[in-house]
C-alpha cells in the first residue's frame, strides 16, 4: 500500500483493474440527470423512467448527486452504449435531440441546408436527407443535434428567399417536455422564474415560447420510404444479392438431394444385382 501511495504521489500513472464480471457489464449502465430545478428522489425518477422506457425488469437506480442517477439495467439491449467517461466527466449540459425545421420553400428543403441550419442551433450529430431516390418524403428538414440546456431555446431564424425578401422559419423540438415559457430554458420551472417574458421576434405582441415549440417524435425516413413502397438502390442491390445467394443455396441443396438419391438408387441396384447373383449361384449348385 505504501508503494502505491508513493507511486501516485510521484506523478506516475497507475494501471487500474477493470471491474470483475460479478459487478455487471458496464454497457448495461447509464448515468443521467433530470433537467429540473426541483430536487427529485429515486422513487420519483424510477416512475419517470418506467413511463418513458417501459417496464424494465430488474432496473436498479442509485443516486449520483443532485438530480443525477445511475441506471443499472439487466441487459445491454435496454440501454445504449455510453462514452468511456467517469460519472463526474459526463456533460449534462448537452442534450441530444431531433429538431424539425418548418416553413422553408421546397427549393430550400435539402440536406445541405439541414446541416447549415443545424450548426447555428447546436452541434450536428446527423442530418436527415428529405429525399429518397428522388422522392421528397418530408415537407420540412430534420436534424439530430446536441443543444446547450443552459441557453434559451432557439425558436427559428430569418432566411433570404430567391426574390431577396426575408421569411421566418420555425424550429420544433421532438419529445421536449419541460421548458420555461417565459424565456425558453430547458428544465426551468416557469412558476419560479424571475426573468422577464421574452417576446416573439415575428410578432412582439405574443410570447416567444409556448407549447407549439415541442412536437411528437417521427419515424425515420427509411421507414417512411418503405411505407411508401420506395427502396434505396443500395438496399435493392443488397436484397437482390441476398435473394441470389438464397437461390444458390437452395440449388445446391436440391443438387445434394439429387446426388444422395442417385447414390441410394445405385446402392439399391447394386444390392439387387448381388442378390440376383447369389440366387443364380444357388440354382447352379442345386
Residue 251 lies inside a defined structural domain of this protein: no
Residue 63 lies inside a defined structural domain of this protein: yes
Which one of 81, 102, 122 terminates a domain?
Answer: 81
Are 197 and 147 part of one and the same domain? yes
Point out the residues of the chain with pLDDT beneath 50. Answer: 7-9, 21-23, 81-83, 280
How far apart (Å, rounded) are the C-alpha atoms in residues 152 and 76?
34
Q: Is the pTM of this model over 0.75?
A: no
| CA distances from residue 202 to 67, 104, 170, 197, 219 in whole angstroms, order as listed | 36, 16, 10, 15, 30
- The confidence score (pLDDT) of residue 81 equals 45
Are 62 and 178 part of one and the same domain? no
182's CB contacts (< 8 A; 6+ apart) are: 190, 193, 195, 196, 197, 198, 207, 209
Are 136 and 208 part of one and the same domain? yes
Residue 135 and residue 228 in contact, taking contact as beta carbons nearer than 8 Å? yes
- The confidence score (pLDDT) of residue 205 equals 93
- The confidence score (pLDDT) of residue 82 equals 46
Residue 101 lies inside a defined structural domain of this protein: yes
Domain span at residue 148 reads 94-227
Are 100 and 221 part of one and the same domain? yes
| Residue 248 phi, psi dihedral angles, 5° rounding | -65, -45
Are 99 and 70 part of one and the same domain? no
- The confidence score (pLDDT) of residue 14 equals 58
- The confidence score (pLDDT) of residue 207 equals 92
Which one of 58, 81, 104 terminates a domain?
Answer: 81
- Structure confidence by residue, pLDDT tens digits, 170-195: 999 998 878 888 888 887 766 667 78
Are 64 and 124 part of one and the same domain? no
Q: Number of folded domains in the chain?
A: 2
Are 157 and 45 part of one and the same domain? no
Are 110 and 139 part of one and the same domain? yes
- Structure confidence by residue, pLDDT tens digits, 17-45: 555 544 455 556 676 666 666 677 767 66
How far apart (Å, rounded) are the C-alpha atoms in residues 65 and 87?
10
- The confidence score (pLDDT) of residue 22 equals 46
- The confidence score (pLDDT) of residue 5 equals 52
- The confidence score (pLDDT) of residue 8 equals 47
Amino acid at each position: 500500500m505504501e508503494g502505491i501511495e508513493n507511486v501516485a504521489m510521484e506523478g506516475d500513472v497507475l494501471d487500474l483493474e477493470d471491474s470483475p464480471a460479478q459487478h455487471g457489464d458496464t454497457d448495461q449502465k447509464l448515468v443521467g440527470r433530470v433537467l429540473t430545478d426541483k430536487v427529485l428522489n429515486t422513487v420519483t425518477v424510477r416512475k419517470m423512467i418506467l413511463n418513458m422506457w417501459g417496464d424494465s425488469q430488474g432496473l436498479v437506480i442509485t443516486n449520483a448527486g443532485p438530480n443525477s442517477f445511475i441506471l443499472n439495467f439487466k441487459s445491454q439491449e435496454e440501454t445504449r452504449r455510453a462514452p468511456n467517461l467517469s460519472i463526474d466527466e459526463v456533460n449534462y449540459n448537452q442534450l441530444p435531440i431531433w429538431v424539425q425545421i418548418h416553413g422553408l420553400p421546397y427549393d430550400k428543403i435539402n440536406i445541405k441546408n439541414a446541416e447549415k441550419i443545424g450548426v447555428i442551433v447546436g452541434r450536428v450529430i446527423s442530418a436527415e436527407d428529405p429525399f429518397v431516390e428522388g422522392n421528397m418524403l418530408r415537407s420540412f428538414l430534420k436534424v439530430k443535434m446536441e443543444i446547450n440546456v443552459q441557453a434559451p431555446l432557439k425558436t427559428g431564424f430569418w432566411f433570404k428567399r430567391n426574390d431577396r425578401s426575408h421569411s421566418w422559419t420555425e424550429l420544433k423540438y421532438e419529445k421536449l417536455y419541460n421548458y420555461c415559457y417565459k424565456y425558453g430554458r430547458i428544465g426551468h420551472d416557469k412558476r419560479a422564474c424571475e426573468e422577464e417574458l421574452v417576446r416573439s421576434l415575428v410578432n412582439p405582441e405574443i410570447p416567444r415560447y409556448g407549447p407549439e415549440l415541442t412536437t411528437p417524435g417521427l419515424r425515420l425516413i427509411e421507414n417512411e420510404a418503405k411505407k411508401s413502397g420506395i427502396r434505396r438502390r443500395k438496399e435493392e442491390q443488397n436484397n437482390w444479392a441476398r435473394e441470389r445467394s438464397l437461390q444458390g443455396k437452395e440449388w445446391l441443396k436440391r443438387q445434394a438431394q439429387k446426388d444422395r438419391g442417385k447414390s441410394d438408387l445405385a446402392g439399391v441396384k447394386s444390392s439387387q444385382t448381388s442378390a440376383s447373383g447369389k440366387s443364380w449361384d444357388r440354382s447352379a449348385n442345386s
